Structure 1
């Protein structure tokens, strides 16, 4: 107990802003960010367990908080990544410094999400896709997984979003 008879505990953290790891807190997340999180969880089940995408979909929709996610974006990510898994891997593989089997299933799923969004979600700027994937890796991946995801997707963006990346370079916005 402290001098004023209050228990010794840390100050209450706000519900918005970053967590201790740098990831955004749940209340600060958009419906699309939540959709990416649920899609990542579903893709993890697909990659690790080899479960049927439809069964994973039914299970995931029943999870707490799913109602706050953009279900249309979630559908596109889950079913699109499963359908195009071989194509997405073919895009990612040349940018890896190790075998795909050595990549964490979390980072693998995040890279699928990034590659899929680069290819099919032109309404989402490439830098937003990149940032969202880095945030997913910070929250769910290994200690430095976000750095690996960043490097791979930064290498993929110029291939899949050529005009957009070039425009950012020309304006001095590219990393």
Structure 2
């Protein structure tokens, strides 16, 4: 009789084990790690102002190679730099035989777009706006479809190799160049 009780107990534990939740996946924390300071990348458009030099002031788009073509000094690497770092780089090159003590200011005119894909009503490419969150991205894409899994989101940050899965409980920030995908629910 004791043997049958042990078998029944083992069967009950196995059945209850199937009811347990899934083990968390890599990257399934409450939110992705906070992004470091914004860095320029190809596709970003910037406004460069060189004080006292109208001919060295203008709008530039960062090329696919990660550079801008700046008057007098030619190609300047911009991708991977913060705006302050790029300002100092241009100042150094202009100060090397072109201008005396140049002052350069840079502002981002427009950011890389974000891509909102999967089970949303209007998937596609959308312009990035500062302060955009995951829930704001859903709103931009006209909400979820009836098939959407509204509990999970897949996020691929620009420059990263693959996407990570996160719970929708956290409304975290979207960055320029991000690809956001909402999966399909199964039931």
Q: Which TM-score applies when normalising by structure 2?
A: 0.22
Which of structures 1 and 2 has the bigger CA Rg?
A: 2
Superposition TM-score, scaled by structure 1 size:
0.23
